[in-house]
Amino acid sequence: MGTKFAFYGGCTTIGGTIIELAHDGYRLIFDLGRAVSRKMPTIQGEKPQDVIPRLLEMGELPDIEGLFCEAKDQDRIAKQTLVAISHAHLDHMALLPLLRHDIPVLVSKDTKRMLESLDEIAKGPGNPLQYLAIEDKELYIFGPFVIRFQPVDHDIPGASAIFIETPDGRFVYSGDLRLHGNHAKRTRAFVDAAHQFAPDLLWIEGTRALSDDLPEMIPERELVAPMVEAIRGTNSGVYFSFYPRNPERIESLKRAAGATGRKLCLLSSSAYLYSQFGGDLTEISLFQGRTTEVVDERIAWFSNMQLPVVTSEEVRNSEELFMIEMPFETLGELSKIQPREGGVYIHSNGHPLGPYDEDWSSFQEQLQLHRLAYRPIGSSGHASREEILSMIETISPHLFMPIHTHHPERFDVKQVQRVLPEVGVQYDVGDLLQKKPVKRF
């Protein structure tokens, strides 16, 4: 029996990539996230038995045999299934809360640390999963599959590409990656390793398919200067949002705060994640208000650190002294602070990410209501279209499939055969390499 694979998501969406690779009664599934959807309800803290039927009816959960908690017990399927997660962004792992507990999850060591740290602050899968954490480039054998993780640069610790070998094929899955972050050498090393691996098939992300038409991306290392410029332009309040799963961004925020004489104030959950990845909290305070999460004294870390706490009242009386983390879900706190005119809001890849998000209009209305000037200062976690095309050329697979993109047709390399991916198709690797028709299910 030859290797077969199918997509359950991620073909024409950003995120939600789910690929099932099967051989001789074994299957490997990667990733297990969901694309941003206006219909998709929150599943955080929900019971699987309540959520799964609803999501299946809405078409927001793939009907994959024996994978999720409410599947009929099929021990054979569970024992021969492995899930691999490239990194801990929601669009790659948001369905983990629904995964059966007896199915192991292969991750990098930093991804395991991130997922477990998120659980500590009630923002993770909340599911007693069997994590199998392996070293970078370590070989892991699962039945006919030989798997290894290759680190890449992305805007989260632990991000990895996945190399897979079966008896009749070699496969590379890029995960998400970039070349303008603090660890670009990881992505370049991935490209070299993938070329040497000589894959039959490359699945590669194409998030920034339209990057040719957009302004040049600011490299991660150059974010401090525009932040400082924005802050020095006001004597009023400075508020910001970022994605807490990118603790390295706090380094830029700290430097900007230090250069402008302001005290950096984080939410307790952000400070905790930062600390778990080596962050120095000596110059950081916690911001706590009516609508922010309360510091949980049950977690020993909070009481042991004894970080200073800044309240909304203090900010209201002395806005010019602080730089406050204020994500979208806590913007109601501004009503208590009553920002003075001339304040600034630095949007550094926090939620909502852009106009395509259903919360964007409300976000902009809140900033206007409180007279805060919007300043987008961030750095994408994704390589540009031209960079992706160059990677494909260098890796030189037999075939490639652009995924994790709204525009897979924008990726075409003359020297390499392209196959546009489709959900609902079962691909036989041997047939695909021989250009035979695919089967639909």
Q: Cα Rg for the chain, rounded, in angstroms?
A: 23
Do 59 and 145 belong to one domain?
yes
pLDDT at 399 over 90: yes
**pLDDT score of 221:** 94
pLDDT at 35 over 70: yes
Report residue 324: phi and psi, to 5°.
-110, 130
**pLDDT score of 403:** 98
pLDDT at 313 over 70: yes
Report residue 398: phi and psi, to 5°.
-65, -45
Do 89 and 15 belong to one domain?
yes
Full domain range(s) for residue 240: 220-376
Residue 309 is encoded by which pair of tokens?
A: 């706490």
Name which of 149, 226, 219 is nearest 178 in CA terms.
Answer: 219
**pLDDT score of 291:** 61
Do 291 and 334 belong to one domain?
yes
Share of residues in the chain with pLDDT > 70 (%): 90
**pLDDT, tens digit (0-9, with 9 covering 90-100), for 131-173:** 999 999 999 999 999 999 999 999 999 999 999 999 999 999 9
Over range 226-243, report the average pLDDT: 97
pLDDT at 273 over 90: yes
pLDDT at 388 over 80: yes
**pLDDT, tens digit (0-9, with 9 covering 90-100), for 199-229:** 999 999 999 998 765 566 789 999 999 999 9
Do 396 and 413 belong to one domain?
yes
Max mean pLDDT range (60-64, 128-132, 252-256, 308-312): 252-256
Show which of 327, 354, 376 is a domain's final residue: 376
Do 68 and 26 belong to one domain?
yes
**pLDDT score of 298:** 44
Q: Quick one: residue 24, left, alpha or beta (phi over 0 = left, psi -120 to 50 = alpha)? A: left
Do 146 and 172 belong to one domain?
yes
pLDDT at 441 over 60: no
Do 57 and 122 belong to one domain?
yes
Over range 402-428, report the average pLDDT: 95
Share of residues in the chain with pLDDT > 90 (%): 75
Do 255 and 321 belong to one domain?
yes
Model confidence at 439, pLDDT cuts 50, 70, 90, reads: low
Query: For residues 173 and 147, what is the distance between their CA atoms, to the nearest angstrom?
Result: 11
pLDDT at 92 over 90: yes
HEC profile of the chain: CCCEEEEEECCCCCECCEEEEEECCEEEEECCCCECCCCCCCCCCCCHHHHHHHHHHHCCCCCCCCCECCCCCCHHHHHCEEEECCCCCHHHHCCHHHECCCCEEEEEHHHHHHHHHHHHCCCCCCCCCEEEEECCCCCEEECCEEEEEEECCCCCCCCEEEEEEECCEEEEECCCCCCCCCCHHHHHHHHHHHHHHCCCEEEEECCECCHHHCCCCCCHHHCHHHHHHHHHCCCCCEEEEECCCCCCHHHHHHHHHHHCCCEEEECHHHHHHHHHCCCCCCCEEEEECCCCCCCCCCCHHHHHHCCCEEEHHHHHHCHHHEEEECCHHHHHHHHHHCCCCCEEEEEECCCCCCCCCCCHHHHHHHHHHCCEEEEECCCCCCCEHHHHHHHHHHHCCCEEEEECCCCHHHCCCCCCEECCCCECEEEEHHHHHCCCCCEEC
Burial pattern 140-164, b for ≥16 Cβ within 10 A else e, equals eebebbebbbbbbbbbbbbbbbbbb
Show which of 357, 376, 395 is a domain's final residue: 376
Do 138 and 15 belong to one domain?
yes
Total domains present in the chain: 2
**pLDDT score of 141:** 98
Query: For residues 284 and 254, what is the distance between their CA atoms, to the nearest angstrom?
Result: 8
**pLDDT score of 305:** 75
Name which of 392, 413, 411 is nearest 191 in CA terms.
Answer: 392
Over range 111-123, report the average pLDDT: 93
Do 201 and 260 belong to one domain?
no
**pLDDT score of 175:** 98
Query: For residues 336 and 386, what is the distance between their CA atoms, to the nearest angstrom?
Result: 46
Higher pLDDT, 245 or 438: 245
Show which of 331, 356, 376 is a domain's final residue: 376
pTM: 0.93
pLDDT at 365 over 70: yes
**pLDDT score of 72:** 56
CATH number at residue 87: 3.60.15.10
Query: For residues 365 and 70, what is the distance between their CA atoms, to the nearest angstrom?
Result: 41
CATH number at residue 323: 3.40.50.10710
pLDDT at 297 over 60: no
Q: Peptide bond before 41: cis, by omega within 30 degrees of 0?
A: no
Do 19 and 120 belong to one domain?
yes
**pLDDT, tens digit (0-9, with 9 covering 90-100), for 59-89:** 888 989 999 986 555 555 666 999 999 999 9
Query: For residues 327 and 381, what is the distance between their CA atoms, to the nearest angstrom?
Result: 19
**pLDDT, tens digit (0-9, with 9 covering 90-100), for 281-296:** 999 999 987 666 555 5
CA distances in angstroms from 413 to 27, 50, 207, 292, 416, listed in the order given: 30, 46, 17, 48, 6
| CB half-sphere exposure, 152, CA atoms < 13 A | 31
**pLDDT, tens digit (0-9, with 9 covering 90-100), for 101-115:** 999 999 999 999 999
**pLDDT score of 158:** 98
Do 154 and 269 belong to one domain?
no
Name which of 368, 361, 329, 362 is nearest 345 in CA terms.
Answer: 368
**pLDDT score of 294:** 53
